[in-house]
Chain A
Amino acid sequence: MASLSFSLSPEAIYQLHDALMCLGKFGDSVSFEAEFDLLRLSVLNITKTAYAAFVFEADKFFESYSFGWVAIGLNQRPPMESQANIRKALVSVFKGRASGRNKDTSIERCEFELQDDPDETESRLVIRLICGLGVIKLYKLTYEPVMIQHATFDRSRATNEWSIEPKFLKEVIDHFGPSAEQLDIYSEHGKTVFTSFTTKIAEGKEILRQPVHTSVAIDKRDFEFYQAEDNLHIAINLRDFKAVIAHADVVHAKVTARFTHPCRPLQFAYELEGMKSEFTLMTRGEPVEDDGPSSSRATVPQLSARQTPAPVQVNQQRTTTTEASRMPPPRSRSIRPLTGTSTRTSQTPAESQRPAPSVEFDSLFVPADDDRQWDVPNEEEPQAEDELGWDATGEHDTFTASLRARVPNEESEAAEMGQEEETGIPPTQRISQVTRDPHPWTMMSTNAISSMVLVYSTKGPDSDNPACRATGAHSHNIGLAVRQRDRLAVVLDVTLGISARATVSMLAPTAGDNGAIIQPSKDMLAADSQILHLPQPIRRELSTIIPAPSQHLPIIQMYIDSMPTSTYRAIPCHRLGGRHTRPNPPLIIHGPKHSELPLSAIPHDHPPAPPIPIITGRINLPTLTQDQSMIPTGHDLHHSSIIVTTVLFEKTPLAERNILLMAETQLAGSVGSEGEERHHPCPSLARLVPWVAR
């Protein structure tokens, strides 16, 4: 059971109303999602080509905000057929309130309360408008808890970015006819051109009914910031664009667009005090036949961590950490020069020493899972970049410090921590990739330590940015602590928290030929409830005991990614809709490369790998709280696009204590062929369990 209640000031009500109106242009059912410090309203349109989200910060936007559980998802969908009703109801709750401000009975406060009681048959959203003269207006809306899907977008990997005052774009939009459908954006000769076009083919008389093609060229100087490849045509739905700009114009917020290629998502984002919004739109156009990965095979041997330089740089530049950590994401991403050559701009000395990798990653969200990463690691490579570290000192302080160091603001502390290997793996990296690094495992076998901490922060530079948290792929922590309490007793505490989000393909084709097992770039959408029903320990209530929700342990809906592997090159655009036609085998079942993982050193038939009793007993939270600092709190736990983690609890015979077993696997793309491969066996789980028990 979750409890959520918050109250709004009149100004916030107008903003909420505007946001709802804007969301209404994308879809009819609005998803509410509460986390301990933010409320997110999102809409995924019916064709899954556009995702709009507004994030309201708990401490700024609301007068009061209280949230009692981890992640809840509810979808405003009325029970009957009329899908729009509830959103309309919500809008009408707030509509017209702006006008009555000066009257006696104008709203003084608005209180939201969410009643989510399993005993009740209906879940209700109660909105109480407290007006002047003691008038109270009460609205009770029903809602439906649903699986919420998110689009993930990795800002640091967007190679193109511009930002502009919305009024200029509003002018542009004004020139478009009402029937225009698509919008193509590109730049050349110092101008940025917005063109409306239609994809309909008309014949004969119908020609005259075609929408007018309008193209509007504005000077690049109109942009606050412009960094995008010339002649790169990106096409989006004009109506979505209009919806975004209309709202941005109302709130006078500078709009920033980030994108890479056609057929990769584009994100508009802007923020206001206490409110942030993101619109992730699928683009169309000529998919870039990206031969980057194949041509740069020799030059880019790094793990994916390398390719997401944001956290990496922080760690590389220990000496200059403080300054470096403040670098905003746009600068730390690889910038494609405007000249159109695909060489990356060298940004750090470390990088520039390498042959400039002509990397142009096909995938926006997840590093291209290149074959090279399975090669023998180049020992001469600076290991720091591999981003996996163990705090072998066994000291709690360093551990926590290293944890905190993930937060960029506190980077300086990490700098002082000197010896410990900073860890900061981009979210896009799999654990299996990480663990292939021999380093930590060597540490393990020495067994000379009483506790080890493996923390990978996947916090990007935006991690303190709730909007980024909204959908950013960067924004989660993975914390793993292995703690040997007693040298005699073989009791290990293994705690792990990984943000988890199953992913669903967005309608994007893959154009590149990278030897990927998965093409995680298409994992734009994630459903919380697919994985995450476990209550996460909440930072605020360390002393409480949370009963394990045994009956709620999810059978992991492990959707298998059905993206093409290298054998099946690109999926042509026109086959977007036909998921079933993708012939490639699912990752998890057919991943021969898994056997190459270091983890496979553990025998498969190791005896202590029984079927895991699914959550018995309770978690004694105080036990966990020792590692609390590294367990990501609830709000961090929903942003992984790739790594899906199940945390299983088992009561062991060895000790009174609960042992938290964890399992890790990767998921990418939850939509496999219907009815196929939804069960949960995951190889890495099987491997991990014996390891823990040892």
Chain B
Amino acid sequence: MRFRTKLTNAETFSKLTASLSSLGKTCWMRLEEGNIRFTIIPDQGTQVWAQLPIDAIFDESTYILESQSGVINLEVPIGALHRALRSAVDAKSAQLRLTQKGRVPLLALTIRTLSWAPGSNALGITAPTTAPSVSSNHATTNTIPHDPSTLKHPDPTTTTTTSSSSSSSVVPTRPGRERETVITQEIPVKVFHESAVEGLQEPRCRDPDVHIILPSLVQLKGISERFTKLASAGSSDHTKRQASLTGPKLELSANMHGSLRLAIATDALRISSVWTDLVNPSLDPGQLSQGEMERLPSERMRAVPGDDEAGWARVRIDGKDWGRVLSVGRLSPRVVACFVHETALVLYVYLPGTFNEEDSCLTYYINSYAA
């Protein structure tokens, strides 16, 4: 079993793991030929099934995957992976591979960074010795009197040079230079056998009543959090105790006429925000026949006039969980929300630049709470 690749888009990968890690601690990472899949199935809350083409984050030419089944299933602590990837964001190069230490399989991330190290003589007065060489140590020690470190420790320099002739000796002048740092992050993982993941199936639900492209997630997140906070603060002690476990319930609804409504209702308050002129994307006609298309619930909803309440599909979701879901906004994706009235909300999150491609989509399955 072998897996090795270079990261091409460490920033996306890092952001992806960051938004995933808000939903669960461990992530099922399925490495296939051509695709990577990240799945988070928490005990309670939103499931994520994300599928990316390998070139979204990995370098295809260095992607090596060897396994009996052609697939490697890993259980990855997603928070640790995210933490490790943060080192790689500004790196010159980063390589990810599956390895083993003792009996613990690891995802080893090797990162090389380059940064500029200013020298101690910032003005470059003693410019000539840009490339300090070991052999010239003794001479430089004597000839560069203004370097304080030289004055202070002339002897270790010479001693080192003569006794060990190691390259680690003191450099009398320290000109600015590129400094390379190699960082290795070893993330412990577990390898699943294919049989262990057979039972994990992506949730299925009926065709959505309304599908709509969500507005800017930053805005949505801000308003959602504000609502959640208001509801928590304004509610009574009893509901507060409830709220601490799950959080207040947001009511999210949309119609096929470009409107999205975010509302929250408690005993004390009732607020809502409405977005209008959003896009209800049309379905790909190539996949569905005309007859099927017309039988879709979304088409029926589209037929309902915009000002009719019957045209709205509504779900009730947990405010805190919704906030965690919206953390995917850091990837600045385009998000299609599919409302199944009173049943579920499914978010299709397309990474920028890969819009509407089936194979680079994060799918969030959010159950609706009963009223």
Contacts and interface: CB of A to CB of B under 8 A. Distances in A.
Chain A bound to chain B: yes
Contact of B170 (A213, A218, A225, A338): A225
A216 B111 CA distance: 9
A201 to B, nearest CB: 10
A682 B359 CA distance: 83
B75 A208 contact: yes
Interface string B125-149: 0000000000000000000000001
A252 to B, nearest CB: 13
A191 interface: yes
Contacts of B189: 207-208
B153 A208 contact: no
Given A212-B83, A212-B84, A347-B159, A338 B168 contact: yes
B171 interface: yes
A187 interface: yes
A335 interface: yes
A432 interface: no
B242 interface: no
B87 A175 contact: yes
Contacts of A331: 153, 155-156, 159
Given A190-B168, A208-B190, A217 B77 contact: no
Contacts of B104: 207, 210
A335 B159 contact: yes
Interface in B156-170: 156, 159-160, 163-164, 166-170
B133 to A, nearest CB: 12
Contacts of B174: 221, 224
Interface in B90-137: 101, 104, 106, 115, 117, 120
Q: What class of interface size applies to chain B in its complex with A? A: 35 or more
Contacts of B115: 171
Contacts of A221: 171, 174, 177, 179
A55 to B, nearest CB: 20
Q: Is the interface of A mostly helix, strand, loop or mixed?
A: mixed
Contacts of B84: 177, 212, 214
Contacts of A694: none
B183 interface: yes
A339 B164 contact: yes
Contacts of B75: 208
B167 A220 contact: yes
Nearest to B177: A221
B80 interface: yes
A225 B153 contact: yes
Contact of B164 (A210, A211, A215, A338): A338
A227 B187 contact: no
Contacts of B184: 213-217
* Most A CB within 10 A of own CB, among B76, B87, B174, B183: B183
B163 A345 contact: yes
Nearest to A331: B155
A222 interface: yes
A507 to B, nearest CB: 27
A68 interface: no
Contacts of B185: 175, 212-214
A683 interface: no
Contact of A187 (B25, B149, B168, B181): B168
B180 interface: yes
Interface of A: 168, 171-172, 174-175, 177-178, 187, 190-191, 202, 207-222, 224-228, 327-328, 330-331, 335, 337-339, 345, 347
Interface of B: 25-26, 75-77, 80, 83-84, 87, 101, 104, 106, 115, 117, 120, 149, 152-153, 155-156, 159-160, 163-164, 166-171, 174, 177, 179-190
25 contacts: A171-B115, A174-B87, A207-B189, A208-B26, A208-B190, A210-B188, A212-B80, A213-B106, A213-B184, A213-B185, A214-B84, A218-B179, A218-B181, A219-B179, A220-B167, A221-B171, A225-B149, A226-B170, A227-B156, A227-B168, A328-B153, A331-B153, A335-B156, A338-B164, A338-B168
